[in-house]
Amino acid sequence: MTQLSSPPSPVPPSDIPSALAGTAATPDASAHLEETGGDAETGRLVIVSNRVANLRSTGQAGGLAVGLAETLKERDGIWFGWNGAPDGVTGGEVQVERVGPAEQVTVPLSPKDVAGYYLGYANSVLWPLFHYRLDLVDYRPAFYESYQRVNETFARQLAPFLKDDDLIWVHDYHLIPLARCLRKAGCRQRIGFFLHIPFPPPDILVASPNHAELVEALLDYDVIGFQTQADAVNLKAYLAERSPAVQLDDTRFRVGTRTVTIDRFPIGIDAKGFAAMTREADDEVQIDLMRRQVLGRRQIIGVDRLDYSKGLPERLKAFDRLMAQHPELEKSVTYLQVAPPTREKVGAYGDIRAELEALVGAINGRLADFNWTPIRYIHRSVDRAKLAPLMRGSQVGFVTPLRDGMNLVAKEYVAAQDPADPGVLVLSRFAGAAEEMHEALLVNPYDIDEMARTLYQALTMPLAERRRRHEALLDHVMRHDARAWQEAFLAALSGATGSAARPQQAPS
């Protein structure tokens, strides 16, 4: 295994798709590979994702990256993924950095595969398809070829690192065929897959020319985990209609000689850690909070990547409608929307940005006064140490994606609140979080009137009701945190009996 002498420049973190990849790895060129000893009972944990969280500096990362990184350090293992540079050679040199007992293993991709696998099939086909946006799918055969090629290459590069009793946990839609490719490379370890985004119903899935191959590839995993029951039901419905897989019980299927578990594992956040961050507001945030307190202004907050799935134009329209219906709220309510750029090289993302900017300009132009800007729109990433106190200082958390796997911001907003005087969460029915967060005010994100009415309800909700709702939500978010999620998934994977032939055959 050769080491690179200088790390390639990573793509901006804003171009990293999921919360999993919230921190861009900056590999250390002096790192070198050593043999790792795994725990005989549980085996090592091998995490595979498109991007690798930086195990060295998880301080500012999301709960997910921190949680997984911690688990990795405790269990010993590997985190494998793309190095994030747009200008490498697919199949080129592997870079290994040891961090404590764990290793970060990163691999390069060629510009052609960044365009075909990452921007193309993953983010121009699977992302819109899985978010029920057939109108935005840009299907091209070359994208699928690149997607397959990258998965095969990743499998070939990962296989030599694996030990017989490793547990392999693959994340997200970029890597659906990875288990199939690993099996072809001779790997017989238990392999689990977790999809962070929604899984669509059969009628939508079959719009992809590759739906049969994708589902067949999924069935090479031992455990297939989804955010919600609805997602799991969608795959089961597809299998019932179109696959010879035999359902054994609620979660287990017989696929040939193997048993595959399909279940929901709703993701959580590091709720305690996020709550703790609210107590450390820096001067800028404190001054902003004090200013609003003096002026008696309440704040609605939204925090999202600038993605068309997040329903941002609809939110702006709902705020506008609220102001039209309740002019008495003028100058007493502001809406802060943080929406950093993401995947700007994908065409559909340019359109959403232009639409949002036009809306913000039009609404502010009509309503603003010299001493009141109704919408504050921040088009860049904000440090989590600022975000947490900003959420705490906001009376409404406005989280209304048109479709979302889970939505961690909904959980972060709840964790950030002051239990004695909490704000109200307004949440889309179509976020996975709605399956668990019943005490939020649930809305249809396409229904502007309903959202405007619900914003008003949130802004005028009596303290006793706010506390009652928040107490139940907080209890849920604290108990079902990131660690509970990992433990549940890994317990299912450890107990899986799916792969017929063990021990591992040596990869060729």
Distance CA 496, CA 270 (A): 27
Compute the distance between CA of residue 90 and CA of residue 113 in angstroms, rounded to an integer. Answer: 7
- Cβ proximity of 477 and 464 under 8 Å: no
> Does 264 interact with ligand ADQ (rule: CB under 6 A)?
no
Window contacting ligand ADQ (CB under 6 A); options: 42-50, 276-284, 297-305, 319-327: 297-305
Q: Which of residues 64 and 162 has its CB atom nearest to ligand ADQ in the complex?
A: 64
CB of 68 closer than 8 Å to CB of 58: no
Annotation marks residue 404 as catalytic: yes
Token pair 């406005």 is found at: 398
- What does the alpha-carbon distance between residue 294 and residue 279 come to, in Å, rounded to a whole number? 20
Angle, helices 312-325 vs 448-459, to 10°: value is 60
Helix (H) or strand (E) run with residue 268 in it? none
Asked whether position 109 contacts ligand ADQ by CB under 6 A, the answer is no
Q: Does 196 bind ligand ADQ (CB under 6 A)?
A: yes
Identify whether the C-beta of residue 128 lies closer than 8 Å to the C-beta of residue 139.
no
Which amino acid appears at position 277 of this protein? M
The angle, 0 to 180 degrees and rounded to 10, between the axes of the packed helices 283-295 and 384-392 is: 20
Q: How far apart are CA 18 and CA 1, in angstroms?
A: 29
User: Side chain identity at 196, as an amino acid letter?
Assistant: H
Q: Note the helical H segments in 330-383.
A: 347-367
Q: What's the rounded Cα separation, in Å, for the pair 298 and 329?
A: 10
Based on the shown chain and the rule CB under 6 A, indicate whether residue 436 belongs to the binding site for ligand ADQ.
no
Strand partners, 225: 194, 263
381 touches ligand ADQ (CB under 6 A) = yes
Please choose, out of 139-147, 150-158, 250-258, 407-415, the segment that lies near ligand ADQ by the rule CB under 6 A: 407-415
Q: Minimum CB separation from ligand ADQ for residue 298, in Å?
A: 21
Among 101, 186, 273, 340, which residue sits at the site for ligand ADQ (rule: CB under 6 A)? 340
CB of 223 to ligand ADQ, least distance (A): 16
Q: CA dihedral in degrees (466, 468, 470, 471; nearest 10)?
A: 150
16 near ligand ADQ (CB under 6 A) = no
Q: Answer whether 19's CB lies under 8 Å from 65's CB.
A: yes
Cα 412 from Cα 477, distance rounded (Å): 9
Given a contact cutoff of 8 angstroms between Cβ atoms, the answer to whether 268 and 19 are in contact is: no
Candidates 196, 470, 476, 480; catalytic one:
196
Q: Which stretch binds ligand ADQ (CB under 6 A): 115-123, 293-301, 377-385, 498-506?
A: 377-385
In the complex with ligand ADQ, the residue whose CB is nearer, 119 or 323, is: 119
In whole angstroms, the minimum distance from the beta carbon of 61 to ligand ADQ comes to 9
Q: Which of 62, 177, 200, 268 binds ligand ADQ (CB under 6 A)?
A: 62
Do 304 and 310 touch, CB atoms closer than 8 A?
yes
**Residue 501 CB burial class (10 angstroms; 0-12, 13-18, ≥19):** exposed
Q: Which of residues 299-318 bind ligand ADQ (CB under 6 A)?
A: 303-305
Give yes or no for residue 387 binding ligand ADQ (CB under 6 A). Answer: yes
Give dist(CA 259, CA 498) in Å, integer. 4
**Is the CB of 384 or the CB of 392 nearer to ligand ADQ?**
384
Beta carbon nearer to ligand ADQ, 163 or 353: 353
With contacts defined by CB under 6 A, name the span among 140-148, 236-244, 376-384, 442-450 that binds ligand ADQ.
Answer: 376-384
For ligand ADQ (CB under 6 A), the number of binding residues is 23
258 contributes a contact to ligand ADQ by CB under 6 A: no
Tokens of 326: 């309740």
Residue 68 half-sphere exposure toward CB, CA atoms < 13 A: 31
Shortest distance (Å) from residue 374 CB to ligand ADQ: 20
Residue with Cβ nearer ligand ADQ (63 or 108): 63
Residue 382 near ligand ADQ by CB under 6 A: yes
Q: State yes or no: residue 406 binds ligand ADQ (CB under 6 A).
A: yes
CB of 235 to ligand ADQ, least distance (A): 17
Name the catalytic one among 131, 404, 480, 481: 404
For the CB of residue 419, give the shortest distance to ligand ADQ in the complex, in Å: 20
CB of 305 to ligand ADQ, least distance (A): 5
Q: Residue 505, SS3? A: coil
365 by Cβ neighbours in 10 Å (0-12 / 13-18 / 19+) ranks as exposed
Site string for ligand ADQ, 320-339 (x = CB under 6 A): ------------------x-
b/e code 174-213 from CB counts within 10 Å (16+ = b): bbbbbbbbbbbbebbbbbbbbbbbbbbbbebbeebebbee
What is the footprint of ligand ADQ within residues 412-431 (CB under 6 A)?
412
Options 39-47, 202-210, 211-219, 382-390: segment touching ligand ADQ (CB under 6 A): 382-390
Site map 266..295 versus ligand ADQ, x via CB under 6 A: -x----------------------------
Establish if 215 lies at the interface with ligand ADQ (CB under 6 A). Answer: no
Tokens of 154: 């990743």
Q: Establish if 408 lies at the interface with ligand ADQ (CB under 6 A).
A: yes
> Which one of 314, 404, 436, 481 is in contact with ligand ADQ (CB under 6 A)?
404
Which 18-47 positions form the footprint of ligand ADQ (CB under 6 A)?
Answer: 18-19
Distance CA 406, CA 266 (A): 7
Which parts of this chain interact with ligand ADQ (CB under 6 A)? 18-19, 62, 64, 196-197, 267, 303-305, 338, 340, 381-382, 384, 387, 404-409, 412
- Give catalytic residues, as residue numbers: 196, 404
